[in-house]
Amino acid sequence: MDQLPLNPVLKFNPNQLYEVRKLFGLEDKDKLKQAIDQFEDWIKKQNHFDVTDFDRGFLERLIIFSKGSLERAKQRLDKMCTFRKLYFVAEGLALKVFAIHILNAPSIGQQILNFFKKFMKPKLLDRLVLHSNLEELHKALPKECLPRDYGGEDYSMEELKDMYQKEFRTEKTKQYLLKGCKEISDEKKRPGANNNEEFLAGTFKKLDLD
């Protein structure tokens, strides 16, 4: 994947793909290709996977979401295939959450937040930001990223809703979701612990391929 595919909803900078790869030490195309090749070779050996022909762009994203660790990417994919529906909800397709901005939170909002602190991961909790008005929100987020409904310069909420609905109803999205439903594992075919050394081997380090 040399460039991000065009998307009617999401906007990308021209160099965004390179910048993301560089962030995780994956800007060398040859090393990245080698990593994905190794990922595909490993997948073909997993007899308990019902599907083994994953899109290479998807595999690259798994490596990126795993911070450059091929071993973590393997584990992430294995979990995804084992607990497909639960994992889809819990991990949100592995999308990284940088921050959650809450606008016009009621006065009881802080009390509710304190209650949920008991159940939320510390990292996610640190990314929650409460704003009492638009001025505070604009200090945290550039207007070009915000809908017009919130004083921004992007599409309105109604326009975004229509765009998302249209995109989700396309045949391409339908086929993507149907294929995802088949990407599961047959636990009866999973190798025993003694025969699964390849999956467990390796340390959680970033890729350093020669």
How far is 66 from 59, CA to CA, in rounded Å? 11
Rounded CA-CA distance 76/173 in Å is 22
C-beta of residue 170 within 8 angstroms of C-beta of residue 161: no
Secondary structure E strands in the chain: 100-103, 128-131
Which 8-state DSSP code applies to residue 192? P
pLDDT of residue 8: 67
Q: What is the pLDDT of residue 199?
A: 45
Lookup: tokens for 78: 């294995």
Residue 181 C-beta-side C-alpha neighbours within 13 Å: 6
pTM for the full predicted model: 0.61
What is the structure's pLDDT at 87?
53
38-49: b (≥16 Cβ within 10 Å) or e: ebeebbeebebb
CB atoms within 10 A of CB 62: 22
pLDDT (0 to 100) of residue 153: 92
How far, in whole angstroms, is CA 149 from its chain's centroid? 27
Domain map (residue ranges) of the chain: 16-95+182-197, 100-154
Task: Give the per-residue pLDDT at 85.
Answer: 53
Beta bridge pairs of residue 40: none
Residue 18: Cβ-neighbour burial (10 angstroms; 0-12, 13-18, 19+): middle
pLDDT tens string, the chain, 210 residues long: the values are 666 766 666 777 778 888 889 988 899 999 999 999 999 999 999 988 888 899 999 999 999 989 899 999 999 999 888 876 555 544 544 456 788 888 887 766 677 777 777 777 777 778 888 888 899 999 999 998 899 999 999 999 999 999 988 888 889 888 877 887 777 888 888 876 444 444 444 444 445 544
Indicate the residue type of 29: K
Q: What pLDDT is attached to residue 10?
A: 72
Do residues 56 and 1 make contact, with C-beta atoms less than 8 angstroms apart? yes
Confidence at residue 96, expressed as pLDDT on a 0 to 100 scale? 66
Q: How many Å apart are CA 85 and CA 145, to the nearest integer?
A: 31
Question: How far is C-alpha 152 from the geometric centre of its chain's CA atoms?
Answer: 26
